Copies of this chain bind each other. A is one copy, B any other.
């Protein structure tokens, strides 16, 4: 398809598509003449992902470029490729190493991972931004007077482990490794708001079940 059709089918203006091409987010089309290029379904899919990252995920363009570089890197194993793309996404808060509580809370996170038997999470440790964000968030809660410990988090983590099985099952439905990684990135950005709304609805339901509705 030509640029005009790519624009129409993706809902992204031709000016914005040209910007993404210049910024290296989108691969060039296949040249058919000195002034025209041809685009295919891979371009359309990539444009969809760029919109998700930038419009919903509010990921900066430079970060989006790094995420997409990992999406395209076929030399990486599947776990690393999935991880690398997601690890490039913005993460905050980062732990404050000058705060003595950080070491205390980190030990509590490791105790939780040990009880869960999550060996990957323990091997990756603070290499994983998710480990760091969890630690930093728990330090903040502790300072605010709402500490959470491994005992409290254990049953939640077990339920979330079951949700992760569903996530990976959905991912496996995509035919190619590249599409799997694309779907993982899109899912991280777009699916979390859906889950948070569903979680609140579930709480309302459970609350009404226990306390009634008047």
Q: Which residues of B contact A172 (CB under 8 A)?
A: 210
| Secondary structure of the A contact surface, majority rule | helix
Q: Which listed residue (B80, B156, B161, B163) contacts A166, Cβ 8 A?
A: B156
Q: Which residues of B contact A134 (CB under 8 A)?
A: 194, 197-198, 201
Closest B residue to A81 using CB positions? B211
Interface residues on A, range: 35 or more
Q: Report whether B79 and A205 are in contact in the complex, using a CB–CB cutoff of 8 Å.
A: no
Q: How far is the CA of A168 from the CA of B131 in the complex (A)?
A: 26
**A170 in the interface (beta carbon within 8 A):** yes
**A31 in the interface (beta carbon within 8 A):** no
Q: How far is the CA of A134 from the CA of B201 in the complex (A)?
A: 9
The interface of chain A, by Cβ under 8 A from chain B, is 10-11, 45, 48, 51-52, 55-56, 77-80, 82-83, 86, 113, 118-121, 123-124, 128, 130-131, 133-134, 137-138, 140-141, 143-146, 148, 152-153, 155-157, 159-168, 170, 172, 186, 188, 190-214
